[in-house]
Amino acid sequence: MFIDFDPENGIPAGRQWERELYSQLRRTDAVVFLASPAAVASKWCFAELSLARSLGRPVFPVRLEPGVSLALLSDVQWIDLRDGDAALTRLLAGLRAAGLDPADAFGWDPLRSPYPGLAPFQAADAAVFFGREHEIERLVRLLQPTLARGPGRVVGIVGPSGSGKSSLLRAGLLPRLARMPGRWILLPPLVPGRKPIEALAGSVAQALAAGAPDRANTLTRLVDGGSAELAALAVDLADRHHIGAGRPDVLVVVDQAEELFTQCADPLEREAGKALDHDR
C-alpha cells in the first residue's frame, strides 16, 4: 500500500513528487479516495483520479464529511465513513469483489528486476508472480488435512523439469504460509545436494536462530538421533513460537527432492535423508 507521506514507504526526500505519484498510480491495483472538502477541491487529487480512471484502475471513494461529492466519481458507489464499522466492512468487501484480497497483496521493491531469468522466483518476487493462483490455493488447502493425519505425510509438487515447481513453492505457497505465524513455522527451503543431512541441519539451525545450537551441533544431533532428533528439534521450535491456544506446526520444505537420488553419493546418507524426509 502506498501513501505519499508514509515515513518509510512514501515519497523519499528529494524525489520529484509529481512524477513519483504518477509512477505509483501506474503500478497500483486500485485507489482509495478519502473525500474531504479539501480533497475534492484539489486539482492534484483530480489529476491523480483522472489518471487512475484512464488506466482502468478501480476507485473506491470514501466520504469523510457530509455532502462531499465529486462529479468525476458520480458513476461510482460511495462509502460514507459516518457509518462506522459498517463502512469499513463495505470497503473491504468491495476490494475483495474487485479481486484485491489482502492475503494475495505483497509489497514490491521497484529496484528489483521482475525477470529472474532461468532462476526460480523467490519470496521477494511474490508481488509479480502470477498465473498460478489456482495451484497456490489448492496447495494451501491440501497442507493442513494431509499433514494432520500423522507422521510420514507429505504434500508433493510434481511436474516436468522447468515447469515452475520451485517458483510455485517459493514465490507462491511459502509467502502465504508465512502470513500465518501462529499456524506454521517454516524452515528455510533446503536443497538436498550431495549432503542432504548437512542441508537439513543448516535449515533447522537457521530456523532456531539466536541462542540456539549452531549448524555443527544440529548436524551432530541429526546424525546421532535420526528422525527422533528431528522431531525433538521441531518440538523445540514450536515451543519457542507458541502463542495462545494451539501449538504451530513445523514445516520442512525440500526443494529439488529428486537430488536425494541423483546427487547424494553416500548410500547411508541418502537413506538417512529419505528417512528424515519421510518422518517429518
CATH of the domain at 65: 3.40.50.10140
Which of 34, 69, 100 is the endpoint of a domain? 100
Q: Is the pLDDT of residue 191 over 50?
A: yes
Mean pLDDT of 126-134: 89
d(CA 11, CA 87): 29
Kindly state whether residues 128 and 243 are assigned to the same domain: yes
Is the residue at 6 inside a domain?
no
On whether both 144 and 267 belong to a single domain, the answer is yes
Residues 132 and 264 in one domain: yes
In a domain, 117, yes or no: no
Segment 210-238 shows an average pLDDT of 70
**Residue 254 maps to a domain:** yes
Burial of 250 (0-12, 13-18, 19+ CB in 10 A): buried
- State whether 182 and 218 are in the same domain: yes
Q: What is the mean pLDDT of residues 57-76?
A: 94
Residue 26: inside a domain: yes
Contact 254, 192 (CB under 8 A): yes
Q: How far apart are CA 255 and CA 242, in angstroms?
A: 27
Sequence-distant (≥ 6) Cβ neighbours of residue 180 within 8 angstroms: none
Tell me the HSE value of 27 on the side-chain side, using a 13 A CA sphere: 17
pLDDT of residue 223 exceeding 80: no
Which position has the higher pLDDT, 96 or 59? 59
Mark whether 267 and 171 lie in a shared domain. Answer: yes
Mean pLDDT is lowest, of 112-116, 172-176, 188-192, 215-219, for 215-219
pLDDT at 274 over 70: no
CB 52 within 8 A of CB 31: yes
Q: How many domains does the chain have?
A: 2
Find the DSSP H helices in the chain: 17-27, 37-41, 43-54, 85-97, 133-147, 165-167, 174-177, 196-208, 215-240, 259-262, 267-279
Q: Are residues 142 and 21 in the same domain?
A: no
Q: Rounded mean pLDDT of the chain?
A: 83
In a domain, 108, yes or no: no
- Domain final position from 100, 134, 169: 100
Q: Tell me: pLDDT of 278 over 80.
A: no
Say yes or no: 136 and 244 in one domain. yes
Q: Could you tell me if 77 and 131 lie in one domain? A: no
* pLDDT the model gives residue 183: 79
Identify whether residues 156 and 72 lie together within a single domain: no
Residue 110 lies in a domain: no
Residue whose entry in the numeric block shows the C-alpha cell 545436494: 193
* Boundary residue ending a domain (51, 66, 100): 100
Percent of the chain with pLDDT over 90: 30
- Examine the domain organization and report whether 128 and 46 are in the same domain: no
pLDDT level of residue 217 (50, 70, 90 thresholds): confident
Q: Which residues, 6 or more positions from 204, have their beta carbon under 8 angstroms from its beta carbon?
A: 187, 218, 222, 230, 233, 237
Residue numbers of the domain that contains 136: 123-279
Residue 69: partners with Cβ closer than 8 Å, 6 or more residues away: 35, 40, 63, 78
Judge whether 4 lies within some domain.
Answer: no
Distance CA 155, CA 144 (A): 10
Do 134 and 261 sit in the same domain of this protein?
A: yes
**pLDDT tier at 148, thresholds 50, 70, 90:** low
Residue 18 above 70 pLDDT? yes
**244 in helix, strand or coil?**
coil
Q: What is the C-alpha to C-alpha distance for residues 103 and 138, in angstroms, rounded to an integer?
A: 15
Q: How many CA atoms lie within 13 A of 118 on its CB side?
A: 2
136 and 269 both lie in a single domain: yes
Instruction: Answer yes or no: is 12 within a domain.
Output: no
Q: Which of 199, 185, 173, 184 is nearest to 264 (CA)?
A: 199
